[in-house]
Amino acid sequence: MHIAMIGTGYVGLVSGACFAEFGSTVTCVDSNHDKIEQLRRGEVPIYEPGLQELVEHGVRSGRLRFTTDLASAVAQADAVFLAVGTPSRRGDGHADLQYVDAAAGEVAKALTGYTVIVTKSTVPVGTGRRVANLVRATNPLAHFDMASNPEFLREGSAIGDFMRPDRVVIGCESERAREVLRELYRPLYLLETPIVMTSLETAELTKYAANAFLATKITFINEIADLCEQLGADVSDVARGMGLDGRIGKKFLHAGPGYGGSCFPKDTLALARTAHDAGSPVRIVETVVAINAERKARMADRIIAACGGSVQGKTVAVLGVSFKPNTDDMRESPSLNIVPALQHAGAQVRAYDPAAMHEAAPLLPGVTWCTDAYHAAQGAHAVALLTEWNEFRGLDLEQLGGAMAGRVFVDLRNVYRAEAMAAAGFRYRSIGRGPLRGGTA
């Protein structure tokens, strides 16, 4: 099978490399000449565990190629995947489809035989039919079918998610298209992966509904965490007690500073806008969007309160700035709210992140970037743990405290136990854990 993957961003590059690993011949296309040259040299422009090795293996095997020549890639493809960005449109929150439209127009001109055009990007309901109409208008003789194959990749775990998915969702209305896509995903049959065949609209909505539900779980446990702090309960135990119920599940029940990243913020907003326009508002999702924005804005206040109500003239060490561990993605990261607020309140910020500092530096001016957690802590009056990278889970608390000018530790990910922090002499604050267990050392 020959695949053309239009777009070499996170979704396109991961999907292309994984399809090549499955045995397909994949040509990844991008209009950015510098990025294509970088990939041809074997340099992967994003941080994702295992992706560098997977790309290198695909290139060595000859099954993974990179080009700026869309026409040649599409001409020989059995399936063309549209994996371009769909950011929130400025002003109204709808998904911006300009890149999808541009890619579809170019693909239409390059079609030479029967081809399945597949939207891999997260797109509003109705986009598949809209793209099909655009292709027909551009090339009335085009012989193609339209399909939707939304991705469910978690940043930091994307390779495993693609190779061993919970399910594959395919929306199309042609048996011939179904057969092409079944063949592409045939390596997953040995794992008995559920293949969910639906209409275009159903597949498109499934992606939005899944992300909105997960964002809702995160927001729910964050609100319960706030209640725990008022009642003296421990949100970690509450979440465990809830998660052991098979109807609820334990995933995405970890209290913290709010969700971020490339998917949840824009997808919840886009779903809310789509539903409003359809005359069927999703009020739960609208509330989730509002609560999450408010929560991220309030996180700096927690750090300031832990420092006695003021950080004027003080130094705060920030551990982790990416929106989650195992990625360098800074999109909608809580750190983008927290760090500027601390600086505005008069703090000097020293920070360290294992992967995201290059991406973060232009977004967070005035920060002193450090080589590790202990370097960041030098002379700091407080440490704030924002992202739960593994290397932050077992810090030498004596060494950390010895480097600091104060002993305040604000744990926005509930990585540590209050008892251990108290024994090390820290004044400890966490999320959703009452004074007996999590708050004051």
pLDDT digits (tens, 9 = 90+) for 79-108: 999 999 988 877 677 888 999 999 999 999
SS3 78: coil
pLDDT in tens, 343-369: 999 999 999 999 999 999 999 999 999
Label residue 435 by pLDDT band (50, 70, 90).
Answer: low
pLDDT in tens, 253-299: 999 999 999 889 999 999 999 999 999 999 999 999 999 999 999 99
The stretch 130-146 carries a mean pLDDT of 96
pTM higher than 0.75, yes or no? Answer: yes
3-state per-residue secondary structure call for 384-414? EECCCCHHHCCCCHHHHHHHCCCCEEEECCC
Burial class (CB in 10 A: 0-12, 13-18, 19+), 124: buried
Q: What pLDDT is stored for residue 440 in this prediction?
A: 40
The stretch 373-387 carries a mean pLDDT of 98
pLDDT at residue 437 tops 70:
no
| DSSP line for 216-272 | HHHHHHHHHHHHHHHHT-BHHHHHHHHHTSTTT-STT----S---SSSHHHHHHHHH
For the record, the structure tokens of 71 come out as 């026409």
Label residue 434 by pLDDT band (50, 70, 90).
Answer: low
For the record, the structure tokens of 31 come out as 């209009």
Q: What pLDDT is stored for residue 93 in this prediction?
A: 76
pLDDT at residue 338 tops 80:
yes
* Residues with catalytic function: 263
Mean pLDDT in the chain?
94
Q: What pLDDT is stored for residue 90 in this prediction?
A: 75
Q: Which amino acid is at 22?
A: F
pLDDT in tens, 300-328: 999 999 999 999 999 999 999 999 999 99
pLDDT at residue 439 tops 50:
no
Rg from Cα positions in the chain: 24
What is the CATH number assigned to the segment(s) 2-197? 3.40.50.720
Residues, the chain, total?
441
pLDDT at residue 33 tops 90:
yes
Instruction: Name the residue ranges covered by the structural domains of the chain.
Output: 2-197, 223-429
Give the rounded percent of residues in the chain with a pLDDT score beyond 90.
Answer: 93
CATH 1.10.1060.10 fits 223-429, yes or no: no
